[in-house]
Amino acid sequence: MAKRVKYILTVLVLVSLILGVLGCSLFLPSSPTTTPAPPNSPGQHANPGWTFPQGTTTAPLPDLPSVIDKVMPSVIAINTEMAVSSLFGQYTQSAAGSGVIIDAANGYVVTNNHVVENARSVQVELYDGKTFPATIVGTDTLTDLAVLKIDATNLPYAPWGDSSQLRLGYWVIAIGNALGEGISASEGIVSRLDVSVTVEGNTLRGLIQTTAPINPGNSGGPLVDMAGEVIGITSAKIATVGVEGMGYAISSNSAKPIIEDLIHGRHITHPWLGVSLYSVDAFVAAANGLSVNRGALIVDVIEGSPADTAGLKRADVIIHFKDKDIVTADDLIEAIQNCQIGETVEITFVREKDTKISRATIQDRPT
């Protein structure tokens, strides 16, 4: 009986397998079918004969070696010593910077104010290794420029260029005493023009931004174009993690009148209103409960300043100055700098929700 049951079960399993195979075959297509290609499928618009269109011109590469050979002899290394006070007393600190000779006969050298500021001795080293003591002809803190003089003649010098001719993408070369290791050159392009950068509370304006690598020691050295002319004086860089290629130079056209005034012994004037400012936008307006979302917010007013005399107060927002609408703090600073000392200007400002008009007489910025 057991054998009979085992036989029946075996037969049933075989039958089930056969039916399963046959059942599956019933759902298989008897012949292959094709699926229509979707619209715009690969290959539908192919053009086997296509080639890249050829350019019409080939721009020559800049002749960097010739420019460097021309300018480098006029670039000097500047070494300074200054007395520094600390909790442990006074000590002498050395620093290195750069400069460029602009006058072969009189030995005038242009550099940055911060290179020679508070220096009690200044030594310069020429490209050929000769060293000279230098005297400070004059300095201007606000533009970060200084002029030195060395007692030598027949010096190599760099011609002064016209920075107004610069365009984005122009090749430039920064030459200077990078890291105090001697005169070296680095190349880049002009990446931005008319830039403002605040360094230690002082805002430098009209700067040239370049991708040419700038390192400590480069300060005061020239930024030159492909004609070998000085179109800027290297002044600052943004040095922080993740930031590259953001060096700045004072434009030659901005520096020229300051250099001339320093050499001629003229007093350099800086129009002054006597306010600290912050740009207003929608976020600043909302955060401070302002009734306008543009303009220059007065953060502080210096006592006795033109702004103080004109009745301006903290939290006022200047929206019009002289003949110019003010959208940002930079707009106002530029407008002030374009004024003449002693000039009286009309100022429109908003105090809470009221629009008011006052007049201020611009003064020379106090030392």
- Residue that the structure tokens 């050395």 belong to: 94
Q: Which of 114, 186, 225, 320 is catalytic?
A: 114
Strand partners, 209: 192, 248
Number of structural domains the chain divides into: 3
State the residue range of the domain holding 343.
271-364
Residue 88 maps to a domain: yes
DSSP 79-97: EEEEEEEETTEEEEEEEEE
Q: Which of 74, 98, 219, 305 is catalytic?
A: 219
Q: Give the total residue count for the chain.
A: 367
Tokens (6 digits) for 177: 């005493």
Closest CA to 78 of 145, 118, 133, 137: 133
Residue 169 maps to a domain: yes
Asked if residues 72 and 182 have their Cβ atoms less than 8 Å apart, the reply is: no
Instruction: Assess whether 248 and 309 both reside in one domain.
Output: no
- Other CB atoms closer than 10 Å to residue 355's CB: what's the count? 13
Residue 56 maps to a domain: no
Alpha helices, H only, the chain:
2-26, 64-71, 113-116, 252-264, 282-288, 306-309, 329-337
Instruction: Assess whether 307 and 343 both reside in one domain.
Output: yes
Instruction: Assess whether 167 and 243 both reside in one domain.
Output: yes
Does the active-site annotation cover 114? yes
Burial of 151 by CB count in 10 Å (0-12 exposed, 13-18 middle, 19+ buried)?
exposed
Instruction: Assess whether 290 and 346 both reside in one domain.
Output: yes
Rg, the chain, Cα only: 36
Q: What is the C-alpha separation between 337 and 237, in angstroms, rounded?
A: 24
Q: Which of 98, 144, 186, 235 is catalytic?
A: 144
Last residue of a domain, one of 123, 150, 177: 150
Q: How far apart are the two ends of the chain, measured CA to CA in Å?
A: 123
Strand partners, 101: 109
Question: H or E element: which one contains 348?
Answer: strand 344-351
Residue 35 maps to a domain: no
Instruction: Assess whether 191 and 229 both reside in one domain.
Output: yes
Residue 223 to residues 14, 170, 208, 214, Cα–Cα distance (Å) = 93, 12, 9, 10
Instruction: Assess whether 78 and 121 both reside in one domain.
Output: yes
Strands 271-272 and 247-251: unpaired
Asked if residues 125 and 87 have their Cβ atoms less than 8 Å apart, the reply is: no
Closest CA to 112 of 213, 264, 253, 221: 221
Residue 6 maps to a domain: no
Q: Which CATH number covers residue 117?
A: 2.40.10.10
Last residue of a domain, one of 127, 150, 173: 150
Residue 89 maps to a domain: yes
Residue 46 maps to a domain: no
Instruction: Assess whether 123 and 176 both reside in one domain.
Output: no
Does the active-site annotation cover 267? no
Instruction: Assess whether 177 and 107 both reside in one domain.
Output: no
pLDDT tens for each residue of the chain, 367 residues long? 444 444 444 444 444 444 444 444 434 444 555 555 566 666 677 888 888 887 777 667 789 999 999 999 999 999 999 887 777 778 888 889 999 999 999 999 999 999 999 899 999 999 999 999 999 999 999 899 999 999 998 999 999 999 999 999 999 999 999 988 889 999 999 999 988 887 766 778 889 999 998 888 899 999 999 999 999 999 876 655 455 668 899 999 999 999 999 999 998 989 999 999 999 999 999 999 999 999 999 999 999 999 999 999 999 999 999 999 999 998 999 899 889 999 999 999 999 999 999 999 999 998 7
221 — phi, psi (to 5°)?
A: -80, 165
Last residue of a domain, one of 97, 129, 150: 150
